[in-house]
Structures are given as C-alpha cells and as structure tokens.
Amino acid sequence: MAALVGLLSAQDSVAAQDSAAAKDSAAPKEQKWLQMFNGRDLTGWTPKIRGHAAGVNFADTFRVVDGLLTVNYDKYDAFERRFGHLFYKTEFSNYRLRAEYRFVGPQVKGGPGWAFRNSGLMIHGQSVASMGKDQNFPVSIEVQLLGGREKGERSTANLCTPGTNVVRNGKLFTPHCLDSKSETYRGDGWVTVEVEVRGDKIRHLVDGHTVLEHEAPQLDPRDGQAKKLLADGRDKMLHGGTISLQSESHAVHFRKVEILPLEQPGKWATPLAAKDLATNCKTEGNWTLADGVAKLTPSDGQSGWQRYNHYLWMNGDYAEFEAEFDYRLQARGNSGFYFHVGDVARPVATGVEVQLYATAPGKKRLTDHDSGGIIPGGPPTSNATKPPGEWNHMHVLCENGVILVTLNGRLVHTMRLDHKKIAGRPQTGSIGFQDHSLPLELRNWRVRSL
C-alpha cells in the first residue's frame, strides 16, 4: 500500500510537494508488485478486437515498441468501430492496479468524437472467451482514461459501466459514466492512475489522490450482455474478474502496468448505524446520536481536552485498518481522530492522533495542528480543509507499517509507524474521537480491519 507515494518522514513531507519522485525508492520490501507487462512482448495478454475472434491482433493494434506497450492504428485505413481490448491472463479480486499512460498523435480516421484521447482500464470484467465476436466492450467496470483537449476541462480516471452498475452514496448508480475530480492532463506527458479494489469498495486515484469512489459493483440485468452472463450462472455481484486495456481509436502508450494483490478485508463496522451510541461506543461526554449523526455539544463551562473519558471510543481494538468518516466543525473548531491507543486513560501518550481542525482557507504555513496533521509527527502537505460549517471527508489507512491520510480526496500525509516520533506507540489499540470542548459532528463513520 505504501508504494502509492513516497514513505516520507513528517519533516520531509512538508518540503516534498511532489511525492511521486520518491514513491518507489522507499516502498516496503515486503510489498510484491507484479509486473503485468514484461517490456518486451505481449506474453500473458490476449487481444480481442470487435469483428475478430479472441487472439487475433488485427492490424497489429497491440504491440511493444521501444519497451512500451502501445495501441497503434498506423495499419488501419479507418477505424470502423473496431473497439479492442487486451486481456491479462489472470483474474483478480482484491488488489491495487497501477498504470502509467500517455496519448500520442492524432486520432485514427473514423474514430468517434467521444473517443478522442480515450482509453480505459477494464476491471471485474467477463472472460475473453465469453465475449461475442461483434461485442464492443466486455461487461466490466471501466476506469476511463482521458486526455485533455486544447481547451476546456476533461478529467481522467472516470467511471463507465458497460453492462454494470455500482452504488454511490448508498444508492444504485445506473448512468453509464461519471466524471472524477481529477485535473485535466493535456499533451503527451505521462499520467499515473491507480485503482484500489478492496472487497466491494473501489477507489480511483491519480498521482496518489482519490478522485472517485464507488461500491458494490454488479451486473446490470437490463443489459443484453449482462443477461447472458446471469443466464450462465454468474453472480450478479462482482467480486473479481478480468483486467484489460482498451483501444478506442486513439494511439496510447503504457510504460508500466503492475498489480499488488491484497488480502480480503474484514467487514465494515459502522458505529453510528445503531439507535444509540452505547451500542458500539463508550463515552461519558456530552455526545448524542440522531439520524446517523453523532454530535458533541460541550457542557457549559467546559474547556480543554484532558477529560479522556469524554472522548468517543469505539468498541474493539484495531491494528491494520481502514477508516473513513465525515466531520464538521465550526470556526476555530478542534478535535482529533485517535487510533492505536493502548490506554484510553492516556491517549495522547499511548496513541496516534490525526488532527481535525477548522484550518483557515488559503492558509499556507501548516503545522501538525492543521487538519490532516499527525500528532506527534508533522503537518499535512497541503491545506485540503473545507470552510467551517461544511462537511469534510477523511480517509485513514494504516497498513504495512504506513499511515496514509486523505482529506477531501487529497493525500495530505504519509508517515511510517516506525517514525521516531511515534515509534514507541502501540501497533494496535482503540479508535476514537477527541472531546476538545468544541462542537463537532460526525457521520458515515466506518472502520474495517485489513
């Protein structure tokens, strides 16, 4: 997991705004990224191009040139809807998939306008053997790769759903495509896109930042190709499948395609889904729960933060985990997300805190007491906090000896557990939120073991 970005010390992270340059050099040794592309030929890959049988690489569409896996159209007279996909030999369920790509040259004659600088990483796909000869796209979840036009915004790592649906914000999402929050990437520069698949949750990342999330990928029973798969006995819910690279009429190069298999995660614990806080949490503080929102309303005269029994402590201990939640603070609001707390009567000394703070918009000189900072440790790399009164979304991943903090989709902190400032802290323990005698609201809080 730590291969996502450089494993920086908190002191280094302030200066390292471009973490990509250091990301691979400090990756944990035990992480085994599998190279899906060998840099020489298409061993392990099978082409499937519309109008042709699987294995027929029409017009040498997919080939290796100068060590790059390329999609080429120099042997085409016109595109003629010959949509193609290059399937990897192995199916996967839980993993991180990483690809570095760039678009080059003009679009081939006859390519659809929407396919300008357009390709994709197709995941959870059907087998190449099950595709029809004239089928345009495999039933799959597409992480759409787009290049920018000369003008206008055009995100990448979008979602498209050929024959499938997903769940977004607790509701079934049935439109065919959904734009991500990524920047626009013009020209022929290399772009790094990652896909994280853990259980039923899928995250799209660009240069380490989360640009789109969705859950519960599933076959769409309205789609003709999906109906065939359902009739053949495939489960409606998609728990894995093939991975393929797309050819849609614009030349594209891939210089890296690699995958990191992951273990099946534990089930989500949702502390705020109960009728009362006492079901899943412990506190003597002034916390209330209504309609899935936990609210801290300090009592009259309260100040400070050292009433540790007033913190909101979740039942159970966690070592490696994934946690996410929405939080809302008022102006000058202050709280913290605590984990690996060995003694809830001494959380500051026996745990790690990710700071929650109403950091002023535009603030440049950040400290560990700004949102996303780790205490003790260091400041976030950027100010991703929304203005006071708005909901913020935080994602905290603790895995393989590394803490990753993502705030409102932006990766703002990477820190090793053996960093000198927290090296003596427990590697497992309680999870909770701080009572700093200031109003705080929480919703959509969930945690799972990894």
CATH number where 210 lies: 2.60.120.560
Q: What is the pLDDT of residue 30?
A: 59
3-state secondary structure of 440: strand
What's residue 16's pLDDT?
Answer: 38
Average pLDDT value for residue range 192-197: 98
Task: Give me the percent of the chain exceeding a pLDDT of 90.
Answer: 90
**Long-range pairs, 189-192, Cβ under 8 A, ≥24:** 189/102, 190/100, 190/101, 190/102, 190/255, 191/100, 191/101, 191/102, 191/145, 191/156, 192/20, 192/98, 192/99, 192/100
For the chain, the average pLDDT equals: 92
Does residue 308 lie in a domain region?
yes
> Is 170 found in the same domain as 40?
yes
Cis peptide preceding 347, ω within 30 of 0: no
The answer to whether position 14 is within a domain reads: no
In terms of domains, do 442 and 340 share one? yes
Average of per-residue pLDDT across 170-198? 97
> 238, 261, 284: which is the final residue of a domain?
261
As a whole-number percent, the residues of the chain with pLDDT over 70 amount to 93
Asked if residue 252 belongs to a domain, the reply is yes
For residue range 363-404, list pLDDT tens digits in order: 999 999 999 999 987 999 999 999 999 999 999 999 999 999
In this structure, the answer to whether residues 228 and 276 fall within a common structural domain is no
Q: Do 381 and 232 fall into the same domain?
A: no
Give me the half-sphere count of Cα atoms (radius 13 Å) on the Cβ side of residue 68: 16
CB 341 within 8 A of CB 431: yes
On whether both 351 and 419 belong to a single domain, the answer is yes
Q: Check pLDDT > 50 for residue 15.
A: no
As given in the structure block, the two tokens for residue 411 are: 């990766």
| pTM > 0.95: yes or no | no
Q: What is the pLDDT of residue 303?
A: 85
Q: What domain count does the chain have?
A: 2
- Same-domain status, 246 and 296: no
Q: For 64-98, write each residue's pLDDT tens digit.
A: 999 999 999 999 999 999 999 999 999 999 999 99
Domain, as residue range, for 412: 271-449
Instruction: Give the pLDDT score at 301.
Output: 83
Tokens of 409: 């989709």
Answer for the pair 127, 225: CB distance below 8 angstroms, yes or no: no
**Domain co-membership, 281 together with 359:** yes
Report the range of poorest mean pLDDT among 25-39, 282-296, 332-346, 416-430. 25-39
Report, as an integer, the average pLDDT of 107-131.
Answer: 97
